[in-house]
């Protein structure tokens, strides 16, 4: 039996004083105010046990991690029709790259690049009368925590500086891959990215991906097949142009965000969240990547 608490405490102790911690995201001004010294780890085992160390209970902006949750919300509604509007291939490019979108006639390479997540947001706007509240309630239900909320200051910061996302949304609109008003879709997208969660809340919310689509309350949110497919996209596309490196070093499906969070999971075993705000040059948490590599090495638990 693996002593998960000792494993994550050893990892935290080993790397928490690393001098090279990466750089905090500054292109979203509000994120540049985060203390780069913070570092937390949380593990949720499939049997219900939790293990945590460091700053695991400090809320942070989940940013692109939200893309896996928005996809999980719309997949049971739209089913395979989703894949008529986006692909499931790794992009090999940064998350905000636009050139592929034009080359491929407005079809985003996958749901985790910004353009793909904007199409998913468009689906939510089409289907729900109040998509922001529906999405927030969905995340709260998954994590079994009503205290989770948007950070409206971060959402506003993204709206005022997100020119690349406006460009992507308008390009999608030009190719008839956006049904609704650009401003309305982006308002939802910026808010979903601004949601603040702790490592614990994220581990709990992603429990369904490790449990064949059933959330913490054992309610079926996705079919086993849908959970498998989203896990596959997380493995191949969850870290943008560093997805291959993450699979190589860590060997788990996962999703990162420029707020410094990383969620990863092993079906039938656990979810694990790390948070350290400093990012590497690819936009992924530097200490988080290192911690997860050590975790799968020490526990010998990965999909490979």
Q: What percent of the chain has pLDDT over 70?
A: 98
Q: Which of 61, 240, 255, 285 is catalytic?
A: 240
Q: Which of 91, 119, 189, 285 is catalytic?
A: 189
Indicate the class that CATH gives domain 4-61+198-299: alpha beta
- Give which of 199, 203, 225 is closest to 216, Cα–Cα: 203
Rounded Cα distance, 32 and 30, in Å: 6
Mean pLDDT, range 66-78, rounded to an integer: 98
Active site residue 67: yes
pLDDT value at residue 278: 95
pLDDT value at residue 96: 63
Domain ranges for the chain, please list them: 4-61+198-299, 64-194
Q: Which of 67, 173, 255, 290 is catalytic?
A: 67
**Band of the pLDDT at 19, cuts 50, 70, 90?**
confident
pLDDT at 94 over 70: no
How many Cβ atoms sit within 10 Å of the Cβ of residue 50?
Answer: 15
DSSP string, 193-257: HH-EE-HHHHHHHTHHHHTTTB-TT--BSS-HHHHHHHHHHHHHHTTGGGHHHHHHHT-S-EEE-
Per the prediction, the chain carries an average pLDDT of 95
Within 8 A by CB and 6+ apart from 67, the residues are: 111, 112, 116, 117, 120, 255
pLDDT at 114 over 80: yes
- Give which of 143, 156, 91 is closest to 117, Cα–Cα: 91
Contact 260, 279 (CB under 8 A): yes
Higher-confidence residue: 105 or 207?
A: 207
Mean pLDDT, range 55-72, rounded to an integer: 97
φ, ψ for residue 275, nearest 5 deg: -140, 120
Mean pLDDT, range 173-201, rounded to an integer: 98
Active site residue 219: no
Active site residue 58: no
- Give which of 148, 38, 168, 24 is closest to 94, Cα–Cα: 168
- For residue range 216-228, list pLDDT tens digits in order: 999 999 999 999 9
Q: Which CATH number fits domain 64-194: 3.40.710.10, 3.40.462.40, 3.10.129.10, 1.10.3720.10?
A: 3.40.710.10
Q: Which of 7, 24, 120, 258 is catalytic?
A: 258
Mean pLDDT, range 5-31, rounded to an integer: 91
Q: Which of 43, 51, 64, 194 is catalytic?
A: 64
Helical spans, DSSP H, in the chain? 4-15, 66-78, 99-103, 114-127, 131-143, 152-161, 163-174, 182-194, 199-205, 207-210, 224-237, 243-249, 286-299
Rounded Cα distance, 192 and 66, in Å: 6
Rounded Cα distance, 7 and 10, in Å: 5
């Amino acid at each position: 039996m693996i002593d998960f608490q000792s494993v994550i405490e050893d990892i935290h102790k080993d790397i928490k004083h690393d001098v090279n911690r990466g750089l905090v995201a500054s292109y979203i001004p509000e994120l540049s105010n985060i203390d780069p010294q913070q570092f937390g780890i949380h593990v949720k085992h499939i049997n219900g046990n939790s293990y945590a160390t460091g700053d695991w209970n400090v809320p942070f902006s989940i940013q692109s991690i939200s893309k896996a949750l928005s996809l999980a919300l719309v997949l049971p509604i739209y089913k395979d029709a989703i894949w008529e509007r986006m692909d499931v291939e790794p992009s090999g490019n940064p998350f905000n790259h636009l050139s592929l979108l034009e080359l491929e006639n407005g079809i985003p390479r996958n749901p985790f690049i910004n353009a793909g997540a904007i199409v998913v947001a468009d689906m939510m706007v089409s289907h729900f009368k109040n998509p922001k509240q529906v999405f927030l309630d969905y995340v709260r239900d998954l994590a079994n925590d009503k205290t989770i909320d948007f950070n409206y200051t971060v959402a506003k910061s993204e709206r005022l500086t997100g020119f690349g996302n406006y460009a992507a949304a308008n390009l999608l609109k030009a190719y008839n891959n956006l049904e609704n008003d650009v401003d309305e879709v982006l308002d939802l997208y910026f808010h979903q990215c601004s949601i603040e969660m702790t490592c614990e809340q994220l581990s709990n919310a992603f429990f369904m991906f490790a449990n064949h689509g059933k959330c913490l309350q054992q309610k079926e949110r996705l079919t086993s097949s849908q959970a498998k497919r989203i896990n596959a996209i997380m493995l191949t596309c969850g870290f943008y142009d560093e997805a291959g490196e993450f699979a190589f070093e860590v060997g788990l499906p996962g999703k990162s965000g420029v707020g410094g969070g990383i969620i990863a999971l092993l079906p039938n075993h656990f979810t694990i969240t790390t948070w350290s705000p400093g990012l590497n040059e690819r936009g992924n948490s530097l200490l988080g990547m290192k911690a997860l590599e050590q975790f799968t090495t020490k526990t010998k638990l990965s999909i490979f």
